[in-house]
Structure 1
Amino acid sequence: MQADAFAAAILALLTVQRIGELAYARANTRRLLAEGGREHCARQYPFIVSLHALWLAGLWMLAWGRPVSLVLVAVLVLLQAFRFWVLRALGRRWTTRVIVVPGERLVREGPYRWLRHPNYLIVAAEIAVVPLIFGLVLYAALFTVANAAILWARIVCEEAALGSAPRPD
């Protein structure tokens, strides 16, 4: 497969995945709010969405004609497996927003047995790995730093919101 076709396939799959995740998150958000959930950190959300949209749009512009690292493509495939594990563990509670439903216990299944925020770890890795697939080292560094700043604020806010959630026995 030619480099441009391979780049297009990778980016198309990521784009479709992100759009699908937004639809799934929107449906879960509506349901959680209807169940009495309360959104936290809403002012951060547009920054998160903007960062991801800029990251993906920039990749669509810059990845053409660049060599592709098959080793890093394999890493990306592994990251996607972990992403689906997170989605499965959270199920109907997975959303791109911070929604806390009173009386719900924190999830301690799947990767949440070992990590507090596995989805953020996966996203951080993707933000770095995907540009590196195409040799875009500076791009990867720039977005990794921007994403780290946004995730730090998000995790602080999410931890505060979850502080009122009951801990598992």
Structure 2
Amino acid sequence: MPIFMWVILSVIIIQRLVELVIARSNEQWMKQRGAIEKGKQHYKWFIIVHTLFFLSLIAEIIFRNQQSISLNYVLFTAFIITQIGRIWCIATLGRFWNTKIIVAPQFDVIKRGPYKYVKHPNYIIVGIELFVIPSLFGAWLTAIVFPILHALLLYVRIPAEEKAVYGH
């Protein structure tokens, strides 16, 4: 695989690690203000699936050993659009953005930015990313399996989040 593709993959991994640091900081900030975590029992599955996503992606890239792969500009554009959406979600939620379900009743639910139009825009974006990112690298098995696993996780996550945030 060409070096520029490894650079793109490295940037994605670094971005996700930085997001985990931001989420941890936001979690501490919210808990200092009385927030509590809900849905702990399923969170480990998010960690497992997202870790396996990157391991699967890298393994498939290495296994396929595609030296002649070139950048697909349509997929790369889709990737850039998802990153803009991802940043928009994180920026809109600010200190309330997290990878966990953390709620504090004294704070209002944010209904601006992408949340004005869709209740869970970040989950949609992640689902698209889980297809687009591996597709960029020709990792078609990863591109098929992980959006399905993401949808299965959301089958548990969204009701848990709805109950924690809205009480239903």
TM-score (structure 2 length as normaliser)? 0.91
Counterpart of 1:149 in structure 2 is 152
Alignment of 1:3-152 (within 5 A): 3-64=1-62, 65-66=65-66, 67=69, 68-152=71-155
Amino acid at match of 1:161: A
**What displacement does 1:103 show?**
1.7
- Structure 1 CA distance for aligned equivalents of residues 15 and 84 of structure 2: 13
Any idea what the Cα deviations from partners look like across 1:26-69, whole Å, max 9, x if unmatched? 00001111111111101111110111111012212222443242
**What displacement does 1:94 show?**
0.5
TM-score (structure 1 length as normaliser)? 0.91
Amino acid at match of 1:50: I
- Structure 2 CA distance for aligned equivalents of residues 127 and 77 of structure 1: 13
> Contact 1:7 / 1:63 at 8 angstroms: preserved in 2?
no
Any idea what the Cα deviations from partners look like across 1:78-114, whole Å, max 9, x if unmatched? 1101111001100010011000111211101110110
Find the residue that maps to 2:2 and give its secondary structure: helix
Find the residue that maps to 1:63 and give its secondary structure: helix
- Structure 2 CA distance for aligned equivalents of residues 11 and 58 of structure 1: 13
Q: Which runs of 4+ in 1 moved over 3 A?
A: none
Give the stretch that moved more between structures: 90-99 or 66-75. Answer: 66-75
Percent identity for Structure 1 against Structure 2: 33
**What displacement does 1:136 show?**
2.3
Give the stretch that moved more between structures: 145-154 or 15-24. Answer: 145-154
- Structure 2 CA distance for aligned equivalents of residues 27 and 162 of structure 1: 20
**What displacement does 1:137 show?**
2.3
Amino acid at match of 1:142: V
- Which ranges in structure 2 are unaligned for 5 or more consecutive residues? none
- Structure 2 CA distance for aligned equivalents of residues 63 and 79 of structure 1: 22
Q: Does 2:147 align with 1:163? A: no
- Structure 2 CA distance for aligned equivalents of residues 32 and 4 of structure 1: 43
Find the residue that maps to 2:83 and give its secondary structure: helix
